[in-house]
Structure 1
């Protein structure tokens, strides 16, 4: 594969080499990640890049040397070749154990790599999705904002593709822009999609692009000139689609022009103000007489400047530089214009249980009791889980915390969808449709979940446990590598990074649960099956756990001592999800293991996500079938 030299950062003039229908070259996910600023590891047994060569020159060197050897071998073989009929493709050999050195030599039963592991070429949709995830990893972990950005980019990708499809209707772009049927080729689709994705990403991630030129380099390596005007070419229409989507979302209620700061609307006529104080000793602070045990408490989170006797981050109330005070992330999000939802509160669940109330309450499992009983039951469940955390539960809590590489749940599920695309050998059109529906559902899940978070403003487990058990000793996880032991109740902490503690927004409902259920629902409906792990699909271009072994679809392996929050597990842990639903359910309960959510916040978030995912998929399906949206 020939790759054009990358332009210097800031050069947006594009390159030559475009074919008659749109041009472009294939790339791997590893190459796309490297362009995005993430260095890929050399494949095991691969030829090292010689010192002094640039990325692309080194890549070219690696391709030319094997090519020369193959040519020489071809000359030798041709001298004795016997003409014979073509044979059918040979089936891959059976699975054999592959040992990973970073897993303590534990045999992992995986099929051996094929002779050419680069044979799978992800579509340009997947390449641009991965380029966006690379940008997301370099920014703040704001799940609502990330969900919106993913939806916008994949709306533009879908709309650009639809203009070169016989049936599909665009969501935002002018349907009159559709090109004649003879132009409906994959080459034109790829060119239009890439142009649309490029202009969206440069607009949404300008600082990242200024630092890395990642999106410009990807366009260059795909062989597409960058265009800045509309015409009837794939490039011109891709540009026009991007401008249309950006204009459509400019005033969607997100307040993007002011970095998504809280804002008022008819839906939320007042700015959000927390009822409780971040100062635990204030009158309305955690230990004050006016503290409301039903409402969210903004925390003081250690910055890492001060360390305790064990060397872990702590804070000093008298030293403001030792902590930051949380601010509710995007409390206005329920008012953002959705994709398929009728409104942010369409699937708002009944409220969580309230401490001090004798009113009847039925929890998400159907159990009947008073509000106060349900409240204390769910608080104590989290304390019990903390005291009895297993290594597997810790791995689950960490894996789902914000994705394997910090993409937050919306990005995490986009990354998981790469494997579905590879397994099912998706075309550009299939990926355009999949990611459009997936991110429409994730975006709507962000709106629905944040509507409930603002409406109920529910307390987090860390505050509820500290308040309830202040002045008492409780048995719980005592901190990194300290296991479970008696600690003062007011010092209880969730199983999380000590400089994170818990997310900066209210508990009910769980965003992880809503996002994951919505994603699993779309993946099930799109593929026609709930099957995730199949025991045979190897993702030769994926290595999330960085163990040097390609990942298997629907599986994640953590080495001994591979957790980030502490030096666990003591044995290799393999997470495996037979179905999308199983993965989504594990993502939901992971937040209870991690001390972030209560039972009903998790379970009712899952219900919400299923409703949202079904509705989003229904609308997306109507569009790509050419039907008018309701």
Structure 2
């Protein structure tokens, strides 16, 4: 990764676009999307990333990247040349995720659930149009094969499939999902191939929905005799924390944090979806060689090691830089960092729509199965978070660390210390973010055929959600040169931001790489019909 400040013009505007020569830019038409690219490297110029995740702003930022066609008489879409996944589905779904599921793009277990259902429906809807591919859940007859010169049928099929999943997951937004399909179908509703595509997509979506409905995630919330009063995604495994938010009974184990919910309102965490570790995976996950040592340093009986790793967290907190803050927030947002990296790589390679769907499903399988493994291990080890260990070791003794938004490094009672990022509502070991990024990067290297990424990401001054209006102090940009670089930095952000200990990040590299490669092999097997 290369970190650079934006070039500043003599007028102090900081407009990086002015510093690019005309020779280094070209406007490339890809379907209905205009993407500014570097003519030498074929790298798409990304929009300035606003870290604030709320609906309208997020849509504006994402559509700058994905774009949408607009005509004088109202919204239109070019299904022949476009990619409905990028241009229509994702921009319509993400605002609902931020409204209904997540504040900053975290909360991975439930987000992964939703995104995997959607992307699996794309893959199954595309299978009838591929000469050899087998769907995961549906078994539909082959139809006229996909022709990359006309994406219409495939775009309609994946949008119809998405609508089925989204109607089930977010029924109060049914009008949005209907409008989404209408936009892609356009004026071709009477076309026989379009009608066939709607039927194929609808069946694929239904088969994926019902195929995954009872996979162990308790999506509808009926497990535990809750048929009459369901609690979607509620735990049914009987997990109970050793510690409470107010009392540490065993400092080796996870303690629920107290979260601020608004002015004067607080709540105690619950372990979110501990049953995720029991969900049925896509790959032969539990037959893979996935070694993970016990987190011995998090055992209070190994007091010297226990204290040493706590001090390491405090040292990183005291030395926290602007770059580390912004990168931590970037990787916290799982709706941007992971999926957009895949889109960028696909655009650079020039994938057609079928190739994009196959690649995108492969990285989704990697993330889904990596999440299952991580959650199973989190529940197994039930390891302490840094905030608990630090308060237990030092009580009200003064420490030096990041002092809160806009405060910089200060001296404070250890019991007041908190991490830069919000602490996850699940045990510490192993790191979910580090594993998801590693599995994602591994499968992307396989499908892209290279470790090269070359993704430039730009950040607006003051766009931090932790320190809004303050961080970064000026517009900044960074570049991820390789997929390994991307995964390494992702893991490091958990250490910089104070939510993880070192072992939680370093010990996942081998197993999560294996999961990513297994996902690639699994999807390639489906594509080949094996």
Q: Is 1:471 aligned to residue 372 of structure 2?
A: no
TM-score by length of 2: 0.78
> Structure 2: how far apart are the matches of 1:451 and 1:605?
13
Q: Which of residues 126, 129, 138 is equivalent to 2:99?
A: 138
Say which is worse superposed, 430-439 or 151-160, in terms of deviation.
151-160
**Hey, what does 1:442 align to over in structure 2?**
367
Q: Is 1:484 aligned to residue 409 of structure 2?
A: yes
Q: Which of residues 287, 293, 300 is equivalent to 2:258?
A: 300
Matches within 5 A, 1:302-317: 302-306=260-264
Contact kept, 8 Å, 1:198 with 1:219, in 2: the verdict is yes
**CA positional deviation for 1:402:** 2.3
Contact kept, 8 Å, 1:125 with 1:431, in 2: the verdict is no
TM-score by length of 1: 0.67
**Hey, what does 1:60 align to over in structure 2?**
72
> Structure 1: how far apart are the matches of 2:514 and 2:211?
25
C-alpha spacing 1:476/1:626, structure 2 compared with 1 (3 Å): same
**Hey, what does 2:509 align to over in structure 1?**
606
Q: Is 1:167 aligned to residue 132 of structure 2?
A: yes
Q: Is 1:596 aligned to residue 499 of structure 2?
A: yes
**CA positional deviation for 1:342:** 3.1
> Structure 2: how far apart are the matches of 1:153 and 1:42?
18
Contact kept, 8 Å, 1:334 with 1:344, in 2: the verdict is no
Q: Is 1:397 aligned to residue 397 of structure 2?
A: no
Say which is worse superposed, 473-482 or 566-575, in terms of deviation.
566-575
Matches within 5 A, 1:411-560: 412-496=337-421, 501-533=422-454, 554-560=455-461
**CA positional deviation for 1:374:** 3.1
**Hey, what does 2:141 align to over in structure 1?**
177
Post-superposition Cα deviations, 1:308-335, rounded to whole Å, max 9, x if no partner, equal xxxxxxxxxxxxxx31110110011110
Post-superposition Cα deviations, 1:565-586, rounded to whole Å, max 9, x if no partner, equal 2212334432211011111111
Aligned to 1:485, the other structure's residue is in SS state: strand
Contact kept, 8 Å, 2:252 with 2:300, in 1: the verdict is no
Post-superposition Cα deviations, 1:562-614, rounded to whole Å, max 9, x if no partner, equal 32322123344322110111111111110111111110111223333211101
C-alpha spacing 1:447/1:158, structure 2 compared with 1 (3 Å): same
Q: Is 1:147 aligned to residue 131 of structure 2?
A: no
Aligned to 1:585, the other structure's residue is in SS state: helix
C-alpha spacing 1:39/1:452, structure 2 compared with 1 (3 Å): closer
> Structure 2: how far apart are the matches of 1:182 and 1:423?
22
**CA positional deviation for 1:373:** 3.5
Q: Is 1:261 aligned to residue 281 of structure 2?
A: no
Contact kept, 8 Å, 2:189 with 2:195, in 1: the verdict is no
Contact kept, 8 Å, 2:391 with 2:415, in 1: the verdict is yes
Contact kept, 8 Å, 1:29 with 1:130, in 2: the verdict is no
> Structure 1: how far apart are the matches of 2:519 and 2:99?
29
Contact kept, 8 Å, 1:462 with 1:492, in 2: the verdict is yes
Larger radius of gyration: 1
> Structure 2: how far apart are the matches of 1:527 and 1:241?
27
Q: How many residues align?
A: 455
Aligned to 2:274, the other structure's residue is in SS state: coil
Q: Which consecutive unaligned segments of at least 5 residues does structure 1 have?
A: 1-24, 31-35, 45-54, 65-117, 265-270, 280-284, 307-321, 359-370, 534-553
Q: Is 1:124 aligned to residue 124 of structure 2?
A: no
C-alpha spacing 1:389/1:609, structure 2 compared with 1 (3 Å): same
C-alpha spacing 1:471/1:28, structure 2 compared with 1 (3 Å): same
**Hey, what does 1:48 align to over in structure 2?**
none
> Structure 1: how far apart are the matches of 2:201 and 2:293?
44
**Hey, what does 2:160 align to over in structure 1?**
195
Structure holding more helix per residue:
2
| RMSD of aligned Cα (Å) | 3.2
Q: Which of residues 196, 204, 217 is equivalent to 1:233?
A: 196
